Structure 1
Amino acid sequence: MAAVSEIAAARRIVIKVGSALLVGEDGAADSAWLAAFAQDVAALRARGQQVLIVSSGAGALGRRRLGLRRRGLSLAEKQAAAAAGQSALMRAWEAALEPHGAICAQVLLTREDTETRRRWLNARATLEALLALGVTPVINENDTVVTEEIRVGDNDRLSARVAQLVSAEVLVLLSDIDGLYTADPRADPTATHIPRVSQLTPQIEAMAGGANAQADVGTGGMATKIEAARIASEAGCATIITLGSRSRPLAALEAGALSTVIEPATTPKAAYKAWIAGALAPAGTLVVDAGAAGALKRGKSLLAAGLTAVEGVFEKGACVRIVDLDGQEIGRGLVRYEAGHAQRICGLKSGAVEPALGYTAGPVIHADDLALAPPSVAA
């Protein structure tokens, strides 16, 4: 089954573009490739699909600007190159996308932004706001401040974390090879292309870590792409690995070009709800009245009006238990107010929240951030 079906059905697509595609042999941005790729982005946007780009290239462009051509740069020199190159990288993306009426925005993330709950929520809120405004986020790791110990490591992994962050349906990893093979096709003419992977088994991982280990340039390789695909799969996102060096690689995909599709293990919504329900330790408890309990079970958000008590000390973005007046757990969710503020708005109608706090963050827990308890627990 061709990758075209995954792309056509996706509401939200994350595309990873590596340095080797974006930066030419002269060390400058490859404007011809970018212009062609921007046509692909414009075509997706014209169909109403949202696109996020995870882009490498700042370090390479910065080296050229600063004249740092030698090998073995110190960490401080690498960070200086990334700082100098990031503006050049964004100019290149703006020049490519603006002729199509697409506004792009720079988003720099660190590992903590994808792993620390409060920062994760803030990063997600920013990206959601940009997408709602019709903006195309161009995302990179914040190499100017991170050290080796706290880096995501490479943009394959970062792109998978971004896909998880925004509940994308498809992650496209543009590579210098058109997918996964049973062996390195450049060394073994009998190597067989694998068009679709339904499950990431040890055998698949062995192919990526062995024969395909040198099938990529830059900091990653096929092994890191498979690792990224595992992260994406567990988040409900399909991964497509395909050749990126051709002009308009996404159009080529939809025309039937070779690729490897790695299927998701679940759906984005189910994965997110499972994460809330099982991966996060509750930091407190919210007690709700009978009306709110019924509304939550029907898929509604928790409003301050239905809140009767707040137990525990927690920050905005914490995972909390929601129980009814009898103490039965209804579900767990990510709360939008810290404990003291949640206590102050208990029982208030929505219009009274801002006068009471000086701000409003909407419902106490949005339905999207709520995982209902299974019937055996909620009964």
Structure 2
Amino acid sequence: MLFAPASCPRLIVKIGSALLVDEGGAVRRDWLAGIAADIAARCRAGQQVAVVSSGAIALGARRLGLAKGGRASLEDAQAAAATGQIALSQVWAEVLGAEGLTAAQILVTLDDLEHRRRYLNAAATLDRLLTLGVVPIINENDSVATEEIRFGDNDRLAARVAQAAGAAGVVLLSDIDGLYDRNPAQPGATHIARVDRIDAAIEAMADTGSASGMGSGGMVSKIAAARIANSAGASLAIASGRIERPLSADARHTLFAAERGASARKAWLAGGLTAKGRLTIDAGAVRALAGGASLLAAGVTGASGDFARGDILDIAGPDGRTIARGLSEYTAADAQMILGLGRDAQEAALGYAPRAAIVHRDHLVLL
């Protein structure tokens, strides 16, 4: 059993569209009833479970008769999501209710988990529902999300929900049983059972394709989700949902083992999907950050974006790779004036006493 209740008090389960909805756009109800039975067994054993469920667009597209599964345009996707979400929620309420469980619906947008105050509100709601023994059914609010402000896939949403809920484990049920060293359709592809560190070699194994054509996330999104979950101290497993009762089966999967968890605030920073600006730093500053120091303006070689004090910034090394993320102590205009300057020169450029750092170590996390 993946993430047994005794070792994982809270679990997030993500279910993709291709598992929940058949090719004709109808709910795979018998399979879903098996998932509900698995969830009920875990709840009886003391585990609290939340579900990130795809499927609203696929269900709505069938009901509305929309082409391309409702994904021909943003407007079609939004209409399909609005229509399908009510049907999806009803099905979940029925299958969980048959097991004696109460379902709750939570719809979120990217902004709900990227803005700190709204993130904390969502976390409080999740915590209360789970404590009450309710099974939250969570989805992106696709009826209002746009291309610019959306998660784009429910893999990363599941990882962010795990952060907010303080979960120790995430299961991504998919149409594939884990990570392979190359596209599994290629001869000689080897299954990877465990990943202890996500590095460039692991990322190179990812394939962006979605086998079903119904969902929006491929292996790239799943590895990104694993990175988010691991940074918050949660392990993540990719497992096949192409079997009956996948949450109770002892089937092949890939486990991305959790690192030591960061503080809640730093985990939120590391897991963020958007940044208002970007700083490029020199090699000396890279070494200083690795040693736990704050980012001083003297080590910053470039800045881009229109950001205010307190906004999230990506921090890149000389090679352009993003190595950290933090909250800016300056506006974009003031940051531009002090790039590469020592403290005395900063005061002369700004006309006021500079702050201790451009990004303080208390508000900075290495990626």
TM-score normalised by the chain length of structure 1: 0.67
Q: SS state of the match for residue 145, structure 1?
A: coil
Aligned: 1:257 with 2:251: yes
1:126 aligns with 125
The CA deviation string for residues 142-181 of structure 1, in whole angstroms up to 9 with x for no partner, is 0111110000111001111101111110000011111111
Match of 1:240 among 225, 237, 260: 237
Measure how far apart 1:213 and its partner are. 4.4
Render the CA deviation track for 1:54-83: whole Å, top value 9, x for unaligned. Answer: 001111111111121356633222211100
Q: 1 CA distance for matches of 2:168 and 2:233? A: 7
Does the CA-based 8 Å contact 1:171-1:237 persist in structure 2?
Answer: yes
Alignment partner of 1:46 is 2:38 = no
Q: 1:74 to 1:183 in 2, by over 3 A?
A: closer
| Counterpart residue number, 2:336 | none
Q: How does 1:212-223 map to 2 (within 5 A)?
A: 213=209, 217=213, 218-223=215-220
State the alpha-carbon separation in 2 of the partners of residues 277 and 80 from structure 1: 32
Query: What SS does the aligned partner of 2:143 have?
Result: coil
Q: How many residues in Structure 1 have an aligned counterpart in Structure 2?
A: 271
Say if 1:4 and 1:173 are closer, same or farther in 2 by CA, change over 3 A. closer
Distance change in 2, residues 1:214/1:18 (3 Å): closer
**TM-score with structure 2 setting the length:** 0.69
**Structure of higher CA gyration radius:** 1
**Corresponding residue of 2:155:** 156
Q: Which runs of 5+ in 1 are unaligned?
A: 281-372, 374-379
Indicate the SS of the match to 1:251. Answer: coil
Deviation at 1:133, TM superposition (A): 1.4
User: 1:39: Cα distance to partner?
Assistant: 1.0
What's the CA shift string for 1:263-287, capped at 9, x where partnerless?
Answer: 11113xx43164589999xxxxxxx
Alpha-carbon shift at residue 137 of structure 1 (Å): 0.2
2:217 partner letter:
G
Tell me the residue number matched to 1:90.
89
Partner of 2:263: 271
Note the residue ranges of structure 2 that are not aligned, 5 or more in a row. Answer: 273-361, 363-367
- C-alpha distance in 2, partners of 1:26/1:278? 39
Say which SS state the counterpart of residue 93 (structure 2) adopts. helix
- Which structure 2 residues correspond to residues 88-237 of structure 1 after superposition, within 5 A? 88-188=87-187, 190-209=188-207, 213=209, 217=213, 218-237=215-234
- Would the aligned equivalents of 2:163 and 2:268 in 1 still touch at CA under 8 Å? no
When residues 21 and 206 of structure 1 are mapped into structure 2, their CA distance, relative to the original with a 3 A threshold, is same
Q: Cα deviation per residue 1:240-294 (whole Å; 9 max; x = unaligned)? A: 0010121100111xxx310000011113xx43164589999xxxxxxxxxxxxxx
Contact 1:110 1:141 in 2 (8 A): yes
Shift in Å at residue 215 of structure 1?
5.3
Cα contact 1:177–1:216 (8 A) shared by 2: no
Give the CA deviation at 1:4.
4.0
- Structure 2 distance, partners of 1:250, 1:64, is 28
In structure 2, C-alpha distance between the alignment counterparts of 1:257 and 1:273, rounded to whole Å? 35
Larger helix proportion of the pair: 1
Q: Does structure 1 conserve the Cα–Cα contact (< 8 Å) formed by 2:27 and 2:59?
A: yes
Query: Does structure 2 retain, via aligned residues, the 8 Å contact 1:106–1:139?
Result: yes
What's the secondary structure of 1:65's corresponding residue?
helix
What displacement does 1:47 show? 0.6
Q: Contact conserved, 1:238 with 1:262, CA < 8 A, in 2?
A: yes
The answer to whether the 8 Å contact 1:7/1:170 transfers is no
The CA RMSD measured in Å over matched residues stands at 2.3
CA contact (8 A) 1:197 1:261 kept: yes
Q: Report how far residue 196 of structure 1 moved.
A: 0.6
Change in Cα spacing, 1:90 to 1:139, as seen in structure 2 (3 Å) is same
Distance 2:263 2:13 in 1: 20
| Distance 1:61-1:205 versus aligned 2 partners, 3 A rule | same
Report the Cα distance in structure 2 between the residues aligned to 1:279 and 1:155, rounded to whole angstroms. Answer: 14
1:63 corresponds to 2:61: yes
Quick one: structure 1 residues 19 and 147, their matched pair in 2 at CA, closer, same or farther if it must change by over 3 Å? same
* Residues 19, 242 of structure 2: 8 Å contact kept: yes
1:239 Cα deviation from its structure 2 partner: 0.4
Deviations 1:293-328 (A, max 9, x none): xxxxxxxxxxxxxxxxxxxxxxxxxxxxxxxxxxxx
CA distance 1:220–1:46, change in 2 (3 Å): same
Task: Tell me the secondary structure at the aligned position of residue 208 of structure 1.
Answer: coil
Does the 8 Å CA contact 1:234/1:271 hold for their aligned counterparts?
Answer: no
